[in-house]
Amino acid sequence: LSHKCGRVWTSGSTEFLDASCKDAPQAGFYRITFHPEPYLKSKGVPVFYPLVPITFVIPEDQIHEHFHIPLLLSPFGYSTYRGS
């Protein structure tokens, strides 16, 4: 998980991926990168998207909310949305 500070993205962190984390993230832009290649290869499925970066924003008034970002993946496409 990366956070955008100005024009620069911070290095990846998993601190906000842990459900036990009590501190809320800061408002701003975030990017999570899924790595589906190992899973797809283990299933014998062709790999077209080895990395899937998803950029999203956490508004100031939603910093205490839960963000669930599912990735729906097929061999040649993907979709994502804000889950509940």
- Please, what are the domains in the chain? 2-80 (2.60.40.180)
Residue 9's pLDDT is 76
78 within 8 A of 53, measured Cβ to Cβ: no
Write down the pLDDT at residue 64: 86
- Please report the pLDDT score of residue 48 as a whole number: 95
Q: What is the pLDDT of residue 71?
A: 94
Output the CA torsion sign for 72, 74, 78, 79: negative
Give the pLDDT confidence of 13-41 residue by residue, as tens digits: 555 554 544 556 788 999 999 999 999 99
